[in-house]
Structure 1
């Protein structure tokens, strides 16, 4: 069984949107979270979707899921105090309803520019290696600095990758890592890959495209709009 866990629990303070969280901002009459979920809804190998949502926005999410004919979302759960806690809330409901050998793809609700091929590649990577972390090449020089802001070394760019999403794991492994973190009173791991690495799991990468951005700031939203418009124009004009 393959399950998508969509994290949409953030309030989006860096977006400067006072009316609604960033995942519910609209482009061409459709919310960002719907653009994201549709990729998993349409994928033939995704069996179910769980969404972690800001509690006071759950009713609105249910409304727009129905409006957009989304049928694979089986569970909607409220977010926690941290991103790690929110993902654990989603894993709990999946753990209660799915086999332990299920593949779970964890994805940001505000990362809508993925595609079927990337989802498939993540599933295959988990099946073969037990993990999948979507990455993108680093295109600029990376430097390590000391506390006084002095550069003391640069990193070989060809070996660097930016971690993105989806990230995939077997349910039994990612759930066990979260339980271990809770037992260790850790609630602020920056992402699932960091947690899995810290607890001794091997990580394998899946190459993704540069367009797989996370919409966090207003400029990200403008890039998203430009890319969506370009995709639509290519369909209309055959570009």
Structure 2
């Protein structure tokens, strides 16, 4: 499930960040290709901003993204977009099937990250790509001050893909709806898990696996895409 329902206003572009073009190609196309090229992935559902569905359809055809089987309209919030995807897929998949949930604006993910997410999910019914905190950390206090050191080894950075057995993610959203916490618990599936007292099982992540949030991230990905293209040319 590729999530492409957001606006991404912090990028400051004239379109949602997942549709910003890097080297004349939408970021979302790079992201979908990661899963298109994975043998372990059978089908792809894209949860898309309603106003961009026709653009997405053209993009899928242009870049031959044949594993995209379903397009689901996004919701008003991240949680409601995921919920739309879950409610759609529960009618299409078996309860024992696995669903990778990934951000459309996270094109840095690697084959190793996806494969480990699947492997850990097989063992625990769920997994989340996590990265250790490598930078020094401190508190963020008033007036741009920091008054207390924070032990970075006590924390992790949570990213995507997040992998779930279909029965598990369905159960999470069923319980969240029963407790009426979907509207108040943002921004991710993991937020709901914490709120419900669930344990998160970590899969492999690294410092390159970031989600594009700012203009600087787009420039970073452009350099990454150029390096990948050069590597491909050398291999052939």
TM-score normalised by L of structure 1: 0.91
Residue 44 of structure 1 is matched in structure 2 by 39
Residue 160 of structure 1 is matched in structure 2 by 155
- Superposed CA offset, 1:186-225 (max 9, x none): 2242211121232232211112121112111111100000
Aligned 1:1-239 pairs, distance under 5 A:
5-18=1-14, 20-144=15-139, 151=146, 153-186=148-181, 187=183, 188-237=185-234
Structure 1 window deviating more from structure 2 (189-198 vs 60-69): it is 189-198
Give 1:13 shift: 0.9
Gap runs ≥5 in structure 1? none
> In the superposition, relative to structure 1, how do residues 222 and 146 fare at CA in structure 2: closer, same or farther (>3 Å)?
closer
CA RMSD of aligned residues (A): 1.8
Gap runs ≥5 in structure 2? none
SS state at 1:201 partner: coil
Query: Larger % of strand: which?
Result: 1
2:126 and 2:168 in contact (8 A); partners too: no
Give 1:124 shift: 0.5
SS state at 1:96 partner: coil
The size of the alignment, in residue pairs, is 233
Give 1:234 shift: 3.1
What is the CA–CA distance in structure 1 between the aligned matches of 2:170 and 2:142, rounded to whole Å?
Answer: 36
Structure 1 window deviating more from structure 2 (142-151 vs 69-78): it is 142-151
2:117 and 2:204 in contact (8 A); partners too: no
What is the CA–CA distance in structure 2 between the aligned matches of 1:130 and 1:57, rounded to whole Å?
Answer: 33
